[in-house]
Chain A
Amino acid sequence: MATVLVNGQEVEIGASERLNCIQAAAKVGVEIPAYCWHPELSVVASCRMCLVEVGDKKPDGTVAMQPKLVPGCQTPAKDGTVIISDSPKVKEARKATLEYLLLNHPLDCPTCDQAGECYLQDYSFNYGRGYSRLNEPKNIKPDKTNIGDQITLFTDRCIMCTRCVRFTREISGSAELQVVSRGSHEEIDIFPGFPVNNPLAGNVVDICPVGALCSKDFLYQQRVWWLKSASSVCPGCSTGCSITVDQNEERVYRLHPRPNEKAQGHFMCDAGRFGWKYTHSDQRLMSPETRTNGHVTPTDFDTVLNSVRAALIKAAQGGKGKIAAVLSPWMTVEEAYLLSSFLKGLSTDVTLAIGPVRIEGHDDQFPKDVKGHVVAPVKFTIRAEKCPNRAGVEAVLTHFAGDVMPFEELLRLASASQFKAVYLVGGDPEGWMTDIQAEAFSKVETVIVQDILPSPVLKHATHVLPSGTFVEREGVFVNHNGLAQLIHRSVRGPDGTRPDGRLLWDLAQRLGLIQTEALRREIAGAIPALAAIASPELKGQGVFLGEAVAAPV
């Protein structure tokens, strides 16, 4: 245990923690401004924004301060380290550094995407001088729109923190970005013909502390102060990156990673980052339907849910093992529990299977060297398993059915005309069923499809329940590692859709409106493997459920 003094306040640092002065100060809420330092990247100490006074407290109580200001990012906080970040000397240095940074920075905040979440704005407001003493023309550097398919560079806004350069060298390993020229003519650039198109490229936009690197997708779409944020989990693969969903007026505009050491760290991949577009697709299923002999009747939710319930009860009364359900690995734990427990309530021997778990290639690990070989230590992994909650759904299925029936097995049973009613839950935006697989349900009397997008099985459907995407629902996803994290509803789905949880809640005729928190307590009581999801820790970085849940069946 080490004690560090930050502006006179004592900070306790754990024995295994290796913190620099910025991190130590942050522990007591003291902000030491910094641009070039990033917790996941190497220290270069070049922006000189985090200069602080540092000294040592001797055992006899005297303090020996170093005569020079030192960069907080580069200075380890050890037992007895004294950090002063509010002295006139420090304030003067910050003011000078900010003036330098703003010298050639265009004051185009009114048209800059970063405005509102810009460290140059924030620090200038807090520590800067408020006006420029430059009487000469600013350096003007050309914008580089060709720097990547998803990225554009406003070169003159760059403050040369080199975070992006270090990201491509240290995290993605692809090293596309570099510094060219010298002195105040320095620019970030690529080698001609080698743009930043690696699978993690979008992160350079997030780590850019100013508006230099912008996402082409988000460019000029919104002012950031209009956006409302909700924390969520990326459903793109089983890594389960913690993310923030930014929306305005029921429309998602961007996803960005939320730092979470338990999940992925600080970054996310581009597939996930830009993989939410289907939410606003005009292909979405937008109306509950009842279909008889190819004849589609649009209906309302109350009617269709009553019909579905009646059909399921009828099938349950028609004999043993006549009901089956496919639970998608895109469902939350709560949704899987609601559906399973409802069907189990109708008939003790329902067949429960997991939906198709889409696997694409192999786990993609970073950093990679130029030849594409992974370099240890691995800093980011895009997983081949392209669904968010296989582990969570399997845990529910194991509880209700004893084991997890694979999708193929259910298809075999369905095509053998085993079932009178099948409840299919989709949710995979990339499609989850082929035409041939859909044929398996052609002879089933009642096929209920709960999905977001059209799929081949719709032609055999008797009831269609339009459901919600991950940004429209609330619940728990369990990632590859058994980490349970909460997703939050950030937008309302289009008219004519309902979030899955509410659908299933109403189907099960539970009282009132769905309350996922109460439901989680119920699940925690019922399923020992999932007991941890009722813990308050879930709301922060999530809780580990243990290896048993994570292990593939």
Chain B
Amino acid sequence: MAKFEPVLFARINKPDSTSLTTYKADGGYARIKEFLSMAPGDVTNLVKDAGLRGRGGAGFPCGLKWTFLPKDHPGPIYLCINADESEPGTFNNRILMEKDPHQLIEGIIIACHAIRSSNAYLYLRYEYGRSYRVLDAAIKECYAAGLLGKNLLGTGVNLDIVLHRGAGAYICGEETGLIESLEGKRAWPRIKPPFPAIEGLFRQPTIVNNVETLCCVTQILYRGGAWFKSIGVPPDPSNPRDPGSYGPKLYCISGHVNKPCCVELPLGVTARELIEEHAGGVWKGRKAKAVVPGGISMGFLSDKELDTKLDFAGPGKVGCLGLGTAAVVVIDDQTSMVDVLFNCCRFMSHESCGQCTPCREGTAWMTKILTRIRIGQGRIEDLDLLMEVAGSMGIIPGTTICGLSDGAAWPVKNAISKFRGDFEEYIISKRATETSAQKLMEVH
């Protein structure tokens, strides 16, 4: 296979890649007038036909989402750009925003035209200070150049982008949590229906898209849907509900590798390829014990499953929740899965918004059980309890409003079912090292 030429990342290593001048010099905004003169429905169809699936984690077809907006809505329609990138191990949006903000802004302009919106809210993770400064400067440049504001480039299209800095919560990345947070409320995800496309921000129809998705929109418009479809994995013929995984994807590789990085590759590379070819292999000459395929809420791949294709359908075939954000975290064979899982659970219990009972209590309970196992008070039956708690938490039995609960339960299900031996050994050996004095301390 010929070496893939990056598209989304084509400009990130160029000098002064963030300025409008260099973006224009590279052909940016060259055809924006043409795109704005297209009928909005045509733009939507183009994106829909390209098979672009949302890059935020759920992989929902982007063009299809746009078509859910009510026709002839009299009031405003909003676009929210989800830049609250908080999934552990994920940093692709950050690079896009810090290195090539205009690619994103152009995507926003196109998307807003497609959905007939003249207000876009960019919800940026608070911790991304540099992204904030870069985007702020880029948006100001665009206003000065007439690319944003009233009567954009004389096309009669109006668009304002509001750059909003979040206040630091994982749950603000959930689309309705993001909307609540933008409205100035506590980021408690909303009950659906109504979905945001019907009633979202300020009770108006709203589309929420990820940064990478909108960058893909820019590329689809310039390069065409056929180009997009030529990259990636076509639908599985045996699964009629699989829309396929087309296009380039930014894979973030971190953890116990020699060279953590973010690379752009066609959807469908294997985890092994990512580790060996792009991240320089597992560090210290060790082997990978487990790999997180797409952010910790997606679960774990075991060392036997490293050849799983990381497209939208692949991780699901080996018991993971999905591709998620394609943030690959490598765990080497010297690391205890108990510690890894404890870390995941602690994160999720800290970030649970606390609205739904199963998530609020379940995440905290699992963390407490793992804490107990780690101090040598574990019992083998705790593993079954953890599995049962994880089993009753997620959306799959239908018990919560948003997906955080599922994402909190999945690593537990995966870790214990795939690495049960590790857990049992840990519990037994920890108990053995515990002294009677420690036991007495626990009792008193």
Residues of A participating in the B interface, judged by any CB pair closer than 8 Å: 43-49, 51, 67-71, 74, 89, 92-93, 96-97, 100-101, 103-104, 133-136, 139, 159-160, 179, 181-186
Chain A residues near B397 (CB-CB < 8 A):
68-69, 89, 93
Report if A96-B392 is in contact (Cβ < 8 Å); known contacts: A48-B358, A183-B349, A183-B352. Answer: yes
12 CB contacts below 8 A, A to B, read A46-B401, A49-B357, A51-B399, A101-B361, A103-B364, A136-B372, A160-B355, A182-B351, A183-B350, A183-B364, A184-B349, A184-B363
Chain B residues near A186 (CB-CB < 8 A):
354, 360
Report if A44-B371 is in contact (Cβ < 8 Å); known contacts: A68-B398, A184-B361. Answer: no
A96 and B358: CB pair below 8 A?
A: yes
A74 and B357: CB pair below 8 A?
A: no
A184 and B398: CB pair below 8 A?
A: no
A97 and B353: CB pair below 8 A?
A: no
A184 and B360: CB pair below 8 A?
A: yes
Chain A residues near B355 (CB-CB < 8 A):
44, 46, 160
B336 part of interface (Cβ distance < 8 Å): no
B46 part of interface (Cβ distance < 8 Å): no
| In the bound complex, CA of A133 to CA of B372 (Å) | 14
B354 and A48: CB pair below 8 A?
A: no
B352 and A182: CB pair below 8 A?
A: yes
Report if A45-B401 is in contact (Cβ < 8 Å); known contacts: A136-B372, A160-B360, A184-B364. Answer: yes
Shortest beta-carbon distance from B145 to chain A in Å: 42
Residues of B participating in the A interface, judged by any CB pair closer than 8 Å: 169, 186, 188, 191, 349-358, 360-365, 368-369, 371-372, 377, 385, 392, 395-401
Report if A100-B357 is in contact (Cβ < 8 Å); known contacts: A93-B392, A135-B372, A184-B364. Answer: yes
Chain A, residue nearest B364 (CB): A184
A179 and B392: CB pair below 8 A?
A: no
B399 and A184: CB pair below 8 A?
A: no
Chain B residues near A185 (CB-CB < 8 A):
354
Report if A160-B352 is in contact (Cβ < 8 Å); known contacts: A51-B398, A184-B363. Answer: no
Name the residue among A48, A68, A133 with the largest chain B CB count within 10 angstroms: A48
| In the bound complex, CA of A128 to CA of B401 (Å) | 22
Chain B, residue nearest A184 (CB): B364
B356 and A103: CB pair below 8 A?
A: no
Chain B residues near A97 (CB-CB < 8 A):
357-358, 399
> Closest 5 CB pairs between A and B?
A68-B398, A184-B364, A100-B361, A96-B392, A69-B398
| In the bound complex, CA of A100 to CA of B365 (Å) | 9
Chain A residues near B349 (CB-CB < 8 A):
183-184
Report if A46-B392 is in contact (Cβ < 8 Å); known contacts: A68-B397, A93-B399, A184-B364. Answer: no
Kindly list 7 other residue pairs between chains A and B, CB separation below 8 angstroms, not including A133-B385, A186-B360.
Answer: A45-B191, A48-B358, A49-B357, A93-B399, A97-B358, A103-B361, A183-B363
Chain A, residue nearest B361 (CB): A100
| One of A48, A89, A104 near B400 (C-beta < 8 A) | A48
| In the bound complex, CA of A186 to CA of B171 (Å) | 15
| One of A47, A68, A133, A134 near B357 (C-beta < 8 A) | A47
Shortest beta-carbon distance from B31 to chain A in Å: 44
Shortest beta-carbon distance from B192 to chain A in Å: 9
Shortest beta-carbon distance from A67 to chain B in Å: 8
Chain B residues near A96 (CB-CB < 8 A):
358, 392, 399
Shortest beta-carbon distance from B45 to chain A in Å: 31
A134 and B353: CB pair below 8 A?
A: no
Shortest beta-carbon distance from A322 to chain B in Å: 70
B186 and A179: CB pair below 8 A?
A: yes
| One of A74, A92, A159 near B392 (C-beta < 8 A) | A92
A184 and B372: CB pair below 8 A?
A: no
Chain A residues near B401 (CB-CB < 8 A):
45-46
Name the residue among A43, A47, A93, A184 with the largest chain B CB count within 10 angstroms: A184
B364 and A46: CB pair below 8 A?
A: no
B369 and A136: CB pair below 8 A?
A: yes
B357 and A48: CB pair below 8 A?
A: yes
| In the bound complex, CA of A46 to CA of B396 (Å) | 16
Chain B, residue nearest A139 (CB): B364
Chain B, residue nearest A89 (CB): B397
Name the residue among B186, B353, B368, B371 with the largest chain A CB count within 10 angstroms: B368
A134 and B365: CB pair below 8 A?
A: yes
Chain B, residue nearest A183 (CB): B352
Shortest beta-carbon distance from A97 to chain B in Å: 5
Shortest beta-carbon distance from A160 to chain B in Å: 7
Chain B residues near A101 (CB-CB < 8 A):
357, 361
Name the residue among B357, B358, B395, B399 with the largest chain A CB count within 10 angstroms: B357
Chain B residues near A69 (CB-CB < 8 A):
397-399
B361 and A46: CB pair below 8 A?
A: no
B357 and A184: CB pair below 8 A?
A: no
Chain A, residue nearest B352 (CB): A183
Shortest beta-carbon distance from A56 to chain B in Å: 15
Chain B residues near A134 (CB-CB < 8 A):
365, 368
| In the bound complex, CA of A136 to CA of B377 (Å) | 10
Chain A, residue nearest B391 (CB): A96
Chain B, residue nearest A95 (CB): B392
| In the bound complex, CA of A92 to CA of B363 (Å) | 19
| One of B350, B361, B372, B400 near A182 (C-beta < 8 A) | B350
Chain B residues near A139 (CB-CB < 8 A):
364
Chain B, residue nearest A66 (CB): B398
B358 and A183: CB pair below 8 A?
A: no
| In the bound complex, CA of A96 to CA of B362 (Å) | 10
Chain B residues near A179 (CB-CB < 8 A):
186, 354
A136 and B371: CB pair below 8 A?
A: yes
Chain A residues near B186 (CB-CB < 8 A):
179
B169 and A182: CB pair below 8 A?
A: yes
| In the bound complex, CA of A68 to CA of B360 (Å) | 20
Chain A, residue nearest B355 (CB): A46
| One of A43, A48, A74, A133 near B399 (C-beta < 8 A) | A48
| In the bound complex, CA of A133 to CA of B363 (Å) | 15
| In the bound complex, CA of A183 to CA of B395 (Å) | 18
B395 and A68: CB pair below 8 A?
A: yes
A48 and B356: CB pair below 8 A?
A: yes
| In the bound complex, CA of A92 to CA of B393 (Å) | 12
Chain B residues near A104 (CB-CB < 8 A):
361, 364
Report if A183-B360 is in contact (Cβ < 8 Å); known contacts: A74-B191, A103-B365, A160-B354. Answer: yes
Chain A residues near B371 (CB-CB < 8 A):
136
Chain B residues near A43 (CB-CB < 8 A):
191
| In the bound complex, CA of A93 to CA of B398 (Å) | 9
| In the bound complex, CA of A45 to CA of B355 (Å) | 9
| One of A136, A160, A183 near B368 (C-beta < 8 A) | A136
Shortest beta-carbon distance from A420 to chain B in Å: 71
Chain B, residue nearest A98 (CB): B357
Chain A residues near B363 (CB-CB < 8 A):
183-184
Shortest beta-carbon distance from A162 to chain B in Å: 8
Chain B, residue nearest A49 (CB): B357
| In the bound complex, CA of A229 to CA of B99 (Å) | 71
Chain A, residue nearest B392 (CB): A96
Shortest beta-carbon distance from B427 to chain A in Å: 13
Report if A46-B350 is in contact (Cβ < 8 Å); known contacts: A100-B362, A136-B368, A184-B364. Answer: no
Chain A, residue nearest B377 (CB): A135
Chain A, residue nearest B171 (CB): A182
Chain A residues near B365 (CB-CB < 8 A):
100, 103, 134, 136
Chain B residues near A100 (CB-CB < 8 A):
357-358, 360-362, 365
| In the bound complex, CA of A56 to CA of B353 (Å) | 32
Chain A residues near B398 (CB-CB < 8 A):
51, 67-70, 93
| In the bound complex, CA of A97 to CA of B377 (Å) | 26
Chain B residues near A135 (CB-CB < 8 A):
369, 372, 377
Shortest beta-carbon distance from A488 to chain B in Å: 39
Chain A residues near B399 (CB-CB < 8 A):
48, 51, 69, 93, 96-97
A184 and B385: CB pair below 8 A?
A: no
Chain B residues near A47 (CB-CB < 8 A):
356-357
| In the bound complex, CA of A239 to CA of B361 (Å) | 42
Shortest beta-carbon distance from B350 to chain A in Å: 6
Name the residue among A67, A92, A101, A103 with the largest chain B CB count within 10 angstroms: A103
Chain B, residue nearest A179 (CB): B186
